[in-house]
């Protein structure tokens, strides 16, 4: 898959906890830092979370170094959806989301991310090695999936422990 195709990854988990509790966990912008090997935390730039609210996120990666990005909340529907666009709300370098659905009395939590359409740090590697683009994108998606899996599994453990 090519970067221009907008590659995406999504993971899901089923949780035995109320939707409101799961919402409180996923809408805490710092919570994923407890589980992700890359995301280090964030700070709100605006007073209240909601559509259009901004935050600065800090990330670190052994091959890419450390960086900060500003993100804009582009999905905010308590207690169902929370998501954000990175770097530019109209032309993001990536978008991320959590979705909460009730299924048979349990909660299905999904976390996903989509690359592009704007350039990102990955673009540097692709530009340097265009013949390896598909492998570069695939490896990055695997990293995303690992971190998202750790995050949703961590949220599940926290939510079920609080029952």
- The domain limits of the chain are 3-161
Q: Looking at the predicted structure, is the pLDDT value of residue 162 above 70?
A: no
pLDDT tens figures, 114-141: 999 999 988 989 999 999 999 999 999 9
CB 40 within 8 A of CB 60: yes
- Whole-model pTM: value is 0.94
| 97, 158, 35, 15 alpha-carbon torsion, rounded to 10° | -50
Q: In the structure encoding, which two tokens stand for residue 20, read together?
A: 């409101």
Class of domain 3-161 as given by CATH: alpha beta
């Amino acid at each position: 898959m090519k970067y221009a195709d907008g590659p995406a990854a999504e993971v899901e988990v089923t949780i035995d906890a109320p939707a409101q509790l799961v919402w409180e966990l996923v809408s805490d912008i710092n919570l994923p830092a407890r589980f992700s090997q890359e995301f280090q935390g964030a700070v709100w730039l605006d007073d209240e979370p909601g559509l259009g609210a901004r935050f600065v996120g800090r990330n670190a990666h052994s091959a890419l170094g450390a960086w900060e990005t500003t993100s804009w909340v582009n999905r905010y529907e308590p207690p169902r959806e929370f998501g954000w666009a990175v770097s530019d709300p109209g032309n993001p370098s990536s978008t991320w989301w959590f979705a909460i659905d009730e299924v048979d009395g349990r909660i299905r939590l999904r976390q996903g991310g989509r690359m592009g359409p704007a350039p990102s740090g990955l673009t540097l590697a692709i530009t340097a090695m265009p013949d390896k683009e598909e492998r570069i994108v695939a490896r990055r998606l695997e990293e995303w999936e690992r971190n998202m899996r750790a995050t949703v599994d961590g949220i599940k453990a926290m939510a079920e422990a609080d029952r």
